[in-house]
Each structure stands twice: as structure tokens, then as C-alpha cells.
Amino acid sequence: MKKNEYLDIFLTFFKIGLFTFGGGYAMIGVMHKDIVEKKKWIDDETMLELITISEATPGPFAINGATYIGYQHKKFLGALCATLGVILPSFIVIILVSLFLQAFSENIYIQNGLKGISAGVSVLIFNALFKLSKKVKMNVINISLMVIAFLVSFFTNFSIILLLLITGLLGFLYALYKGGRKV
């Protein structure tokens, strides 16, 4: 295995970690563009599986996603390079912010810049949602579960983890009822 392949994995995820504000959900669009469209390390279906697995397992989406993609592409060392690449930018930014916290908290330009970034993050999240939703095979059951889950999460303080488990179980039971055919 060439060392530059591992460096490519590290630098790809370093860039994703460095230029993605707003956490894991904002990363979905950037990851899709870089990993699926440009590098073709995984396909759209695997990206959807990645999102599902990363959300259903403990830990931040960014780390779970990077580890999964790195492992899919180059096994253990790929997972290690991807994980370190996506973590390191946040670590560096946190150190820098802690050094200048007082100046950042009082600077109106920085505060307004962060508000603008927050608005842009919403666009990234919705963009990723629309791109990936085209790949999901929707039916009445999927749409019903999605709408009910959204309403429960939006209007109550119901546990998101429990909601994921319940909707997953309902989807599983529906597949059993239909005889194991794809839902």
C-alpha cells in the first residue's frame, strides 16, 4: 500500500473537519461531495448506510463516519488516518479559541461572523438531506415513520435514541410481516 493513499485519506478528512462548521449533520453534504462524488470511495447507498450506522451507534457522527469510510477504503490504517484527520482540526480550533476566548467573546465582528456561519450550516444540512433523500426508496411506511418521528422529536422531549430504536424496530417488524422483502 502506498503511503500517499493514507495521506490522501488523512488530508481529505482533515479538510472536511476543518471547513465544516456545525457538527456532523453539516458534514454530510461535504462528505458526500468529497467521498462519493469526487473520490468515489463509497457509493450513495453506502453513504446512506453510513448515516444510519453512525447515528445508531454511540459517539459523534463525524468520527463514526470518518472511521467507517476509512475502514471501507483501506481497512484499519485507513480508519485511523480518517479518524485522526477529522478530529485534529477541531482540536486545533479549540486550543486557539481557548487562547483567545476573551477577545472572541467581546468582538462584535466575530460574533456576527459566527451567526452567518450558523445560517450557512442550515443550508448545508438541507442540501445533504435533499441529495440523499433521492436515493431512499420511499413508501407509505417509511414516510409515516419519518413524519411521526419528526413530530414526536419536534414537539416533545422524547429521547432521540429511543425514537431511533422504536422506528428501527417498527421497520424491522414490517419487513418480517411482509416476508423479508425490501421495504
Give tens-digit pLDDT for 69-105: 999 889 999 999 999 999 998 888 888 877 777 767 7
CB atoms within 10 A of CB 5: 14
Cell 419536534 sits at which residue?
154
Asked if 76 and 105 sit in the same domain, the reply is: yes
How many structural domains is the chain composed of?
Answer: 2
Q: What is the pTM of this model?
A: 0.61
C-alpha cell at 182: 425490501
> Based on the domain organization, do 79 and 89 belong to the same domain?
yes
What is the 8-class DSSP label of residue 100?
Answer: T
Task: Give Cα 34 distance to the centre of its chain.
Answer: 13
Residues 109 and 23 in one domain: yes
127 lies in the same domain as 147: no
Q: Let me know whether 50 and 66 are in one domain.
A: yes
Please spell the DSSP secondary structure of 59-114, one letter per residue.
S-HHHHHHHHHHHHHHHHHHHHHHHHHHHHHHHHHHHHHHHTHHHHHH-HHHHHHH
Same domain for 128 and 160, yes or no, is no
How far apart, in whole angstroms, are the C-alpha atoms of residue 32 and residue 46?
10
Q: Do 12 and 26 share a domain, yes or no?
A: yes
Q: Which of 9-23, 59-73, 91-105 has the lowest mean pLDDT?
A: 91-105
Instruction: Copy the grid coordinates of residue 33.
Output: 461531495
Assess whether 84 and 148 both reside in one domain.
Answer: no
| 141 shares a domain with 51 | no
- pLDDT tens per residue across span 131-149: 666 666 777 887 888 888 8
Determine which of 6-20, 117-131, 163-177 has the lowest per-residue pLDDT on average: 117-131
Q: Are residues 79 and 130 in the same domain?
A: yes
Give residue-wise pLDDT tens across range 37-59. Answer: 899 998 888 888 888 887 777 77
- Confidence band (pLDDT; 50, 70, 90) for 181? low
CA distance 96 to 67: 25
**What is the spatial distance between Cα 141 and Cα 103, in angstroms, rounded to a whole number?**
52
Query: Residue 152's domain spans which residues?
Result: 137-183
Closest CA to 64 of 74, 54, 52: 54
Say if residue 127 is in the same domain as residue 175.
Answer: no
Report residue 123's pLDDT band, with 50, 70 and 90 as the boundaries: confident
Grid cell locating 42: 463509497
**pLDDT given at position 21:** 66
Q: Which of 24, 44, 20, 22 is nearest to 32 (CA)?
A: 44
Residue 73 sits in the same domain as residue 141: no
